[in-house]
Amino acid sequence: MPPSRRDLLNTKKGFIVHKAVMEVVTVKDILAARELIQRFIKLTPVLTCSEANRIAKRNIYFKAEHLQTTGAFKIRGATNAVMKIKSKYGLDHPGVVTHSSGNHGQALACAANVAGLPCTIVVPKGSPSCKVEAIKGYGAKLVECFPSPTARVETMEKVCKETGQVFVSPYDHADVIAGQGTIGLELVEQIPDLDAVLVAISGGGLASGIAMAVKSVRPECKVYAVTPKGKMLEDCLRAGERLWPNPPQFLDTIADAIKLQQTGFNTFTLLKELAEKNVFEMSDEEMIEGMRFSFHRMKQVIEAAAGAAVAAALSDKMASLPAEIKNVAVILCGGNADIDNFPWYDSFKKAY
């Protein structure tokens, strides 16, 4: 059950705060994040496509976070975290660290570079050199580690101890969630009468931030998570419990940006309250079709995680949702696809 209006608490500014989750992040944090980061990030446009509307049988609005600085939404949360540190401690602070060779690693390096704070990125050995070069380009220090979830955390903790740098989690950090939530504020301003949001989920920072923001303005708006196969999110949301096996696993998916099986702890608290239990699970083939639709029809380069959300919007499941869900936002979360290795060329490679 989505939270009813009885669970909601009005604030003086007309926003609505969800009681159960306000200890993690509130809409006030998201409003403050917008204030802090808006000079550094882009207000991304919302794109439309008549063919998508026809297939989904409703109005689909694609939020173009693939056109965001660094090519993904991650810069929002990273900038919020870094700028909060800077405004509190100034430039004497030892800086920030994270473990990620992906979009969050680049985003944190970029945000720290803009802020003028030191930054270390723990990168698994064997990461693609283009990604490593991009991080270096932002002046961050790179530390290599063995490519396993455990080694990443251990190396990061060692860096924290030695340097005093603060860990900025890719998702389970209040400032990161609040930063990503600024997308939700933009959605309700850019899209008239928003009824639903489709958002791909990994650790859950993006989905929970957006849900918090959107539902504070329009509590009746539904937020649907989109995941790779094997995520078990629907079971967990329905049970209201973390049913995932431990230690944490990576899913077998082409979408490396959403390969975590487990969400974060804070984000799960938010999602239990705010997200629909009805989850869109997409196969690799469907994600590829979503990417191809975006390339072919919308002329937009998106990565597989964004392709998952597009595929969800074009799925039979979407078309069969009640007609009163008229206006649907689809988050194009990132555009950092490897242009030398689009996934639909795999079968092609095999043929040669």
Active site (catalytic) residues:
74, 101
Instruction: Please report, as residue ranges, which positions from 67 to 106 form the binding site for a second copy (by CB under 8 A).
Output: 67, 71
| Contact flag: residue 265 with a second copy (CB under 8 A) | no
Do 119 and 112 touch, CB atoms closer than 8 A? yes
d(CA 116, CA 179): 19
Give me the 36-55 binding string for a second copy, x by CB under 8 A, dash otherwise.
---------x----------
- Which CB atom, from 50 or from 320, has the smaller least distance to a second copy? 50
CB of 299: closest distance to a second copy in angstroms? 4
- Which CB atom, from 268 or from 293, has the smaller least distance to a second copy? 293
Sheet order of strands, 166-167 included: 141-145, 119-124, 96-99, 166-167
CB of 74: closest distance to a second copy in angstroms? 15
Question: Which of 36, 52, 260, 302 is close enough to bind a second copy by CB under 8 A?
Answer: 302
Question: Which of these segments, 172-180, 187-195, 253-261, 298-306, binds a second copy (CB under 8 A)?
Answer: 298-306
Can you tell me whether residue 105 is helix, strand or coil? helix
Question: Which of these segments, 2-10, 65-73, 189-197, 254-262, binds a second copy (CB under 8 A)?
Answer: 65-73
Q: Give the residue among 212, 348, 307 at the shortest CA–CA distance from 269.
A: 212
| Contact flag: residue 217 with a second copy (CB under 8 A) | no
Instruction: Enumerate long-range contacts of 41-49, CB under 8 Å, 24 or more apart.
Output: 41/68, 41/69, 41/75, 41/76, 41/79, 41/182, 42/67, 42/68, 42/69, 43/186, 44/68, 44/186, 45/190, 46/187, 46/190, 46/191, 46/329, 47/298, 47/300, 47/332, 49/297, 49/298
| Contact flag: residue 345 with a second copy (CB under 8 A) | yes
Question: Which of 239, 296, 319, 346 is close enough to bind a second copy by CB under 8 A?
Answer: 296
Residues β-bridged to residue 120: 97, 141
d(CA 159, CA 269): 29
Question: Which of 124, 295, 325, 326 is close enough to bind a second copy by CB under 8 A?
Answer: 295
CB of 82: closest distance to a second copy in angstroms? 20
Can you tell me whether residue 280 is helix, strand or coil? strand
Question: Which of 135, 301, 329, 330 is close enough to bind a second copy by CB under 8 A?
Answer: 301
Do 111 and 173 touch, CB atoms closer than 8 A? no
CB of 45: closest distance to a second copy in angstroms? 8
Question: Which of 34, 66, 222, 231 is close enough to bind a second copy by CB under 8 A?
Answer: 66
- Which CB atom, from 88 or from 299, has the smaller least distance to a second copy? 299
CA distances (Å), origin 150, targets 171, 266, 280: 17, 20, 29
Residues β-bridged to residue 9: 17
| Contact flag: residue 181 with a second copy (CB under 8 A) | no
CB of 114: closest distance to a second copy in angstroms? 13
CA distances (Å), origin 119, targets 111, 177, 240: 9, 20, 37
CB of 66: closest distance to a second copy in angstroms? 5
- Cβ neighbours of 301 (radius 10 Å): 18
Q: Interface with a second copy by CB under 8 A: which residues?
A: 45, 66-67, 71, 292, 295-296, 298-302, 335, 339-340, 342, 344-345, 348-349, 351-352
